[in-house]
Chains A and B, each alone.
Chain A
Amino acid sequence: MSQSTKPFGTLRSIGGRIRAPFEGPNTTGNSTAFWVVFLGAVGFLMMYPQMVNPLVLGDTTRYFALGFLALSLCLVWGFGGILSFGQVAFFGVAGYAWGIISINFASATGMTLGIVGAVFIGTLFSFILGYFMFYGGVRDVYVTIITLVSALVLHTFMAQTAGSQWVIGSARLGGFNGMHSEHFELGIGSTGIVFGGTSPDPILRYYYFVVALLIVTYLALRVLVNSSFGMTMVAIREDEDRTATFGYNVPFVKLVIFTIGGALASLGGVLYTAWGSYISPSVFAITFAALPVVWVSIGGRESLIGVVGATVAIEWMQDSLAGTGSEWAMVIVGGLLVFVILVMPAGVAPQIERAGKWLLEKLPPHSDQQAGEPTSKQTRGDD
């Protein structure tokens, strides 16, 4: 690398300028090696559909949709210090909202606007809940309890909507049986590009749609957490009272964090519902509510890439185990959680970063790419 520095000097400074907003003390992976591996992983994700059959591709798409839910908790808990156990509430509300909109406005225009509308409804819910919590002075474990209870209340409520009186327009809520939404379409007019269903083409399109959204969201969150607002978030996470004495309006900042988190969870909920054209009250159940906390704890709650990697890896493992008829999936996930919390309290991603840095120091400088290899396992946990 040292010999070839000069010709690439300009290129490198351009690269540095592009990278600058994405890097800072609040993200793991600020090295050239990281970005090389990241681009490699993105390339891999683009090629991935060629390697697997549509069924597997469809499952992978679901893992990535859940990645938004993981990112939402990562932001709220890992950076804002607010342990929400109820991100699934916003996920589910937006999911149901999208289902209702897609059934009532079953055109490409309806569904395209439906994404926006459903995300708005889920976000608004998180805003209202957050407003009463943070301006009401609710803190710490009480936030965890209130958010969890919100999800459980929704679970109970939605479960009793089987009767024919629970209809919004032509959408039946369906109680425990859940609600079947229309196949997802994007576009203007009566028919657009179809993304849903079981035929290979829509599955492929939907995969690319979700992956592209996830990558954009990930990069946007990197910019956010490394901005001055990100610094404020971290300050509030570290010491809420001290941060208030510098004149920060702490309840307001926490409300903003929580609302952004709600929006991310809502987007995940819409993508998840559109994926299977189906949503049921089980998204509000305690088992599902616990999963984001597990993904984020294992991945590393201060690592955006780590939590997405952990989500994909854990969901893939659960599906694989379920495929063999094993009932052990949740037990193994629980065991993994206990193991990670005991051995690496900050999660897996910081360990991988440390290992990567160690390798970079050990290896001759030109082999940057190999040095970052462990990081790529996070992103490629799905293969």
Chain B
Amino acid sequence: MSSTGDPTVRESPAVAATGPAKDELLATDGLTKKFGGLTAVDTVDFTVEEGELRCLIGPNGAGKSTLLELITGQLSPTEGNIYFDGIELTDRKSHERIDAGISVKFQSPHIYEALTVRQNLKVPLQRTDRETETVLQRTLEQIDLVEQADESAGDLSHGQQQRLEIGMATTLDPKLMLLDEPVAGMSIEETNEIADLIHTLHDDGMAFVVVEHDMDFVREISERVTVLNQGEIFRQGPIDEIENDDAVRRIYLGENA
């Protein structure tokens, strides 16, 4: 998938009216979120192109999760705007943003433990007009849970539950997938399985924003990296550049690098 996209699709009046550049899928414009005296996200202009795989890193409290929650509508911004796929999302309700094509997996795992794997996938899938059985089977294969399809989701291992949750988010066929720390607490093997899954979906044209602490994992999956620090975009660029940037190493990678 080329990041320039198909120009004929993008020439809609809505795009012209709202202003983001042609190949931008997601754009925030001066996005700010204050909690009382604390500015968690500070005039952030964050853009993601179509089909891009972007990692979002930064020290604890840098505003990564807050930024995700602003994009999904869990939080509403103090100032600034959010544009997605040619429409303005700023005042849209959470479920309308999902319908626009944003899917999300938050940090803490949330699956329906009492339901089977198959039922877990059906819950999001039945909201779409996609061919249920075909998509279900393909998703089960992608997340490698075909044999566990009729088992109770609560009985799965941690890694399997994380894969299931990503699978649930993908059944909505989103244009953009937001993942908050998808490999936290996972073994190396499980981490590799998630990386493979992300690569597969990305190859199909899905754009990603992945919040992650594990730099090996970031190196494994990412094309471009955005570093957040104290609510602001601190650096942005290819992973090699970021890793070798002295200022970034000081604020964030110091203990890891």
Residue from A235, A246, A249 having most chain B Cβ neighbours under 10 A: A246
Say yes or no for A247: interface residue by CB 8 A criterion: yes
Q: In this assembly, does B76 line the interface, its C-beta being within 8 Å of a C-beta of chain A?
A: no
- Does B46 make an interface contact (CB < 8 A)? no
In contact, B114 and A247 (Cβ under 8 angstroms): no
User: Contacts A231-B122, A241-B110 given: A247-B115 contact, CB under 8 Å?
Assistant: no
Task: Please indicate the chain B residues that have their CB under 8 angstroms from the CB of A168 in the complex.
Answer: none
**Residues of B contacting A246 in the complex (Cβ-Cβ under 8 angstroms):** 98, 123-124, 127, 168, 172
CB pair B127 A25 closer than 8 Å: no
Q: Is A288 an interface residue (CB 8 A)?
A: no
Residue B99 lies at the interface, judged by CB distance under 8 Å to chain A: yes
Q: Are A249 and B95 in contact (CB under 8 A)?
A: yes
User: Are the C-beta atoms of B127 and A231 separated by less than 8 Å?
Assistant: no
Q: Assess the A239–B112 pair: CB atoms within 8 A.
A: yes
Which residues of chain A are within 8 angstroms of B142 by Cβ–Cβ distance? none
The smallest C-beta distance from B25 to any residue of chain A, in angstroms, reads 18
A246-B172, A247-B99 given; A231·B110 CB < 8 A? no
Query: Which of A232, A234, A242, A249 counts the most B-chain CB atoms under 10 A from its CB?
Result: A242
B116 on interface, CB distance cutoff 8 Å: yes
| B132 nearest CB neighbor, chain A only | A228
Check A243 for interface membership: any CB of B closer than 8 A.
Answer: yes
Interface: A248 (CB within 8 A): yes
Identify whether the interface residues of A are mostly helix, strand, loop, or mixed.
helix
A379-B96 Cα distance, complex, nearest whole Å? 45
Q: Which of A25, A234, A244, A247 has the most CB of B within 10 A?
A: A247
**Which residues of B from 138 to 171 have beta carbons under 8 Å from A?**
168
Check if A5 is an interface residue, CB within 8 A of chain B. Answer: no
B74 to chain A, nearest CB (A): 8
- A238 proximal to B (CB < 8 A): yes
Determine which of B110, B112, B113, B127 lies in contact with A247 in the assembled complex, contact meaning CB atoms within 8 Å: B127
User: A170 in the interface, Cβ–Cβ < 8 Å?
Assistant: no
Residues of B within 8 A of A242 (CB): 110-112
Residue of A nearest to B98 (CB): A247
**CB <8 Å contact, A239 and B110:** yes
B116 touching A25, Cβ below 8 Å: yes
Q: Are B115's CB and A238's CB within 8 A? A: yes
B162 CB → nearest A CB, Å: 14
**A210 CB, nearest partner CB in chain B, Å:** 34
Q: Which residue of A lies closest to B95 (CB)?
A: A247
B94 located at the interface, meaning its Cβ lies under 8 Å from any Cβ of chain A in the complex = yes
List residues of chain A with CB within 8 A of the CB of B168: 246
A residues less than 8 Å from B113 (CB atoms): 238
Within 8 A of B (CB), among A215-261: 228, 231-232, 234-235, 238-239, 241-249
Beyond A239-B110, A247-B98, 11 additional contacts (C-beta under 8 Å) are A25-B119, A231-B122, A238-B112, A238-B114, A239-B111, A243-B123, A245-B110, A246-B127, A247-B94, A248-B127, A249-B95
17 A-B pairs with CB atoms under 8 Å apart are A25-B115, A235-B112, A235-B123, A239-B110, A239-B111, A239-B112, A242-B110, A242-B112, A245-B94, A245-B98, A245-B104, A246-B98, A246-B168, A247-B94, A247-B124, A248-B95, A249-B95
